[in-house]
Amino acid sequence: MPSQLEVENVTVAFGGRRALDGVDLRAEPGRVTGLIGPNGAGKSTLFDVISGLRKPVNGSVALDGREITKLGPARRARLGMSRTFQRLELFGRLSVRDNLLVAAEMGPDRKVASAVVDGLLDRLDLRAIADTTADALSTGMGRLVEVGRALAARPSILLLDEPAAGQDREETERFSALLRTVADDGVAVLLVEHDMELVMEVCDTVHVLDLGKILSVGTPDEVRSDERVITAYLGAT
């Protein structure tokens, strides 16, 4: 079932410093929503709040109108939320196929896990390396497998933290097409990414975070021409 994510007025503090300060964000089913901003802006911290790894001091997270702010990561995963991490979290000694299988078995229906993996190997064009161990993959391919693991749980909302880092241009182009098909299936995709070409090409809406606050929200064209965004981020990339 498609899920809408609503983040309202989220604040997180480390010591006395606010890493997030009154952040609002919305991600809708069938759309790719971008979250961009300079290093240290608070993007990963916001992902941690959305996925339940960090509790905000203020604000709420809701999925389809149901408040989930107090739920832990496992409960959120059962509600259809899947995420990837900036640091690869693959099982290094397992094959690509088995990495996907472990994730698929945690999905809503274990009986279909191997069929789900079969489908993903084709969809992500991973069949040729299905028996390769994760340790032997390039960073770019590792990231693709990590996205495969997130998809194996058949999420309704998918959080991707810098999935294209380490991918070459061809891998990124294929990845961009994949993200569109994931969104077209009704998934709400939330994408943190520094690769501006990918963000501008694939996102329907982009949120720009700077120093813990949302600086701008709009279509890629609107955000790209926003002077505040150019000054805070785009001018420097």
**Cβ contact 157:188 at 8 Å:** yes
If one asks whether residue 39 binds ligand ATP (CB under 6 A), the answer comes out as: yes
Bridge partner residues of 41 (DSSP): none
From residue 63, alpha-carbon distances to 5, 29, 55, 140, 191 in Å are 5, 11, 16, 31, 17
Count interface residues toward ligand ATP (CB under 6 A). 10
- Cα separation, 122 vs 38, in Å, equals 35
- Cα separation, 177 vs 154, in Å, equals 18
Tokens representing 190 are 């939330």
- Cα separation, 94 vs 69, in Å, equals 34
Interface region with ligand ATP, contact rule CB under 6 A, candidates 43-51, 70-78, 180-188, 220-228: 43-51
In whole angstroms, the minimum distance from the beta carbon of 16 to ligand ATP comes to 11
The one among 3, 44, 84, 156 contacting ligand ATP by CB under 6 A: 44
In whole angstroms, the minimum distance from the beta carbon of 226 to ligand ATP comes to 18
If one asks whether residue 10 binds ligand ATP (CB under 6 A), the answer comes out as: no
Interface region with ligand ATP, contact rule CB under 6 A, candidates 37-45, 103-111, 116-124, 125-133: 37-45
- Under DSSP, is residue 88 helix (H, G, I), strand (E, B) or coil? coil
- Cα separation, 24 vs 7, in Å, equals 5
**Cβ contact 116:105 at 8 Å:** no
If one asks whether residue 40 binds ligand ATP (CB under 6 A), the answer comes out as: yes
In whole angstroms, the minimum distance from the beta carbon of 193 to ligand ATP comes to 10
If one asks whether residue 42 binds ligand ATP (CB under 6 A), the answer comes out as: yes
In whole angstroms, the minimum distance from the beta carbon of 80 to ligand ATP comes to 23
In whole angstroms, the minimum distance from the beta carbon of 194 to ligand ATP comes to 7
**Cβ contact 157:63 at 8 Å:** yes
Residues numbered 16-35 forming contacts with ligand ATP, rule: CB under 6 A: 19
Interface region with ligand ATP, contact rule CB under 6 A, candidates 40-48, 68-76, 95-103, 170-178: 40-48
Closer CB to ligand ATP, 61 or 104, in the complex: 61
Closer CB to ligand ATP, 85 or 175, in the complex: 85
Angle made by CA atoms 43, 126, 164, in degrees to the nearest 5: 20
In whole angstroms, the minimum distance from the beta carbon of 206 to ligand ATP comes to 14
Torsion of CA 217, 10, 228, 232, to 10 degrees: -120
If one asks whether residue 108 binds ligand ATP (CB under 6 A), the answer comes out as: no
Tokens representing 140 are 């770019």
- Where do contacts with ligand ATP occur on this chain (CB under 6 A)? 14, 19, 37, 39-45
